[in-house]
Structure 1
Amino acid sequence: MSADPRAVLTRPAPAPDRTVAYGDHPDQIADLRRPAGSGPARPLVVVVHGGFWRAEYDRRHTGPLAAALAADGYPVAQLEYRRTGQPGGGWPGTLTDALAGIAALPALVARALPGRVSGAAPILIGHSAGGHLALYAAATAPSTVGGVLALAPVADLAEAYRLDLDSGAVAALLGGGPGEVPDRYVAADPRSLVPMPTRTVVMHGSLDEQVPVSMSRDFVAAARTVGSDISLVELPGCEHFGLIDPESTAWPQVRDVLRSLHDDL
């Protein structure tokens, strides 16, 4: 793994094969990657990027991850969405974009990559804030989601607000704290939306300094208590960015979990 864990955020990746739009805004788009080989059609993998929902972080930093998944034979879509700090981002646009994009992408990708995408609902891979959006989509629109692999997700918005993760990121997303906009936390916080109706695996590194691993431990325990089909895989010695870095020591385990989820569809 690189000496700088953040190196994956700026590492170049091959250009996507296609870019499709699921709405009229310039950020309501997704980059598509054709699966390697000539095998049968497979369920789509939708990558939902992180960056604490902020405009300065976009889908491009998931290029190495998406390229590695395509090389493994998965059809991949890197979802973009409006983010805080830009018109339409935050509440509710960031969340409604995630729902709209995830619902629209299987048909869009099937047309763009004919014969390579099956009719099964997609698997979502969400990292950090993208993990929050993946969990939110699965909880609120379960018919559009086949499974979730949440990588170091912000799975408890109220707790993330209390901890002031990324200096006010949750307040920027929802427009305030739980005491100011409680209905928004009820509607958008995965911790309030359990049980999870779709198969979910949460992976989190023990050395994560951006999103504490305790958040995933508590979320998964709460979700299991009410009957969710959910599990937690903790990765000793792994930090926040190793989960999306195909050159990291954590990557083989991420790939194995994805394969297990994919094979269940």
Structure 2
Amino acid sequence: MPHHTPRTEAYGDHPDQWVRIVGDASAELVFCFVHGGYWRPRYTAELMDPLVERVVRDGPVAAAVNIEYRREGDPAAMQDDVRTALHRVRELFPDALRVAVGHSAGGHLALLCADEVDLVVALAPVTDLVGGYGARIGSGAVAELMGASPAERPEAYAAATPRPTSTPTLVVHGVDDDRVPVDHARDFARQARDLDAPVDFFEFARLAHMDLIDPDGPHVALVAAWVRGHLRAPRKDAS
């Protein structure tokens, strides 16, 4: 296994505005990890460390960037942080295929920032804030994030809800997920079909929510094959 020395770089003045980079600019692929945790401060980028290690342990072809962001109940600020971090990745790895990999709430943010990368992999993402509010996912996490109900702030909910885009996207979810309903991901996939957006959706009968960040999970081979299938695709403008 090659040795990689992680380096940390700030992209803002707040203590939580940083990225940890493993790998170098010669990488053909760079995976940008956005962690979940229902947008709450106690959950950090360490959640994605096992996936970072998985990416870089087999050789210099791929690099990994683990993104931390402010988690203070402001969806616009969180989205801005992730977008700024991903833009920095575009500067650091202009010739690589850039893949945003987000889990749960991190999948929500990765989908919102899809235009900053070449590919998005959303692992059990939060795709329906209105539905999440009604289902009280995370014991009321959406209400905490938005500070009001959908009826009270419909425009804010609309602005913070991901929509399918022209960026090729893979959504993976478990039918047995008891934290983010798989029906929300199914609805997102139906939206994509209606819009003719490039979204591939796979569900596993048994894939618990936290198992999606297990580097040895049953979905990992699927994700790797999907990404490899896009290696020859044209890159987005790095400017």
TM-score normalized by the length of structure 1: 0.80
Cα distance between partner residues in 1 of 2:144 and 2:87: 25
Alignment partner of 1:58 is 2:27: no
Spell out structure 1 runs of 4+ moving beyond 3 A.
261-265
Structure with more of its chain in strand, by fraction:
2
Structure 2: unaligned runs, 5 residues or longer: none
Cα distance between partner residues in 1 of 2:7 and 2:26: 20
Aligned position for 1:98: 82
Aligned position for 2:136: 164
Cα 1:236–1:261 change in 2 (3 A) is farther
**Counterpart of 2:79 in structure 1: which amino acid?**
L
Q: How many residues align?
A: 230
Q: Give identity over the alignment, percent.
A: 37
Cα distance between partner residues in 1 of 2:63 and 2:167: 20
**Counterpart of 1:29 in structure 2: which amino acid?**
W
> Pairwise CA RMSD of aligned residues?
2.1
**Counterpart of 1:249 in structure 2: which amino acid?**
P
Cα 1:173–1:121 change in 2 (3 A) is farther
Aligned position for 2:99: 123
Q: Given that residues 76 and 160 in structure 2 are in contact (C-alpha distance below 8 angstroms), is that contact kept between their aligned partners in structure 1?
A: no
Alignment of 1:72-151 (within 5 A): 72=58, 73-84=61-72, 89-107=73-91, 110=92, 117-120=93-96, 122-138=98-114, 142=115, 144-151=116-123
Cα 1:15–1:165 change in 2 (3 A) is farther
Alignment partner of 1:29 is 2:18: yes
Cα distance between partner residues in 1 of 2:231 and 2:14: 31
TM-score normalized by the length of structure 2: 0.88
Give CA-to-partner distance per residue, 1:33-82, whole Å, 9 cap, x none.
116xxx95314211011111110100011101011011243111001000
Aligned position for 2:174: 205
Aligned position for 1:225: 194
Q: Given that residues 242 and 250 in structure 1 are in contact (C-alpha distance below 8 angstroms), is that contact kept between their aligned partners in structure 2?
A: no
Structure 1: unaligned runs, 5 residues or longer: 1-13, 111-116
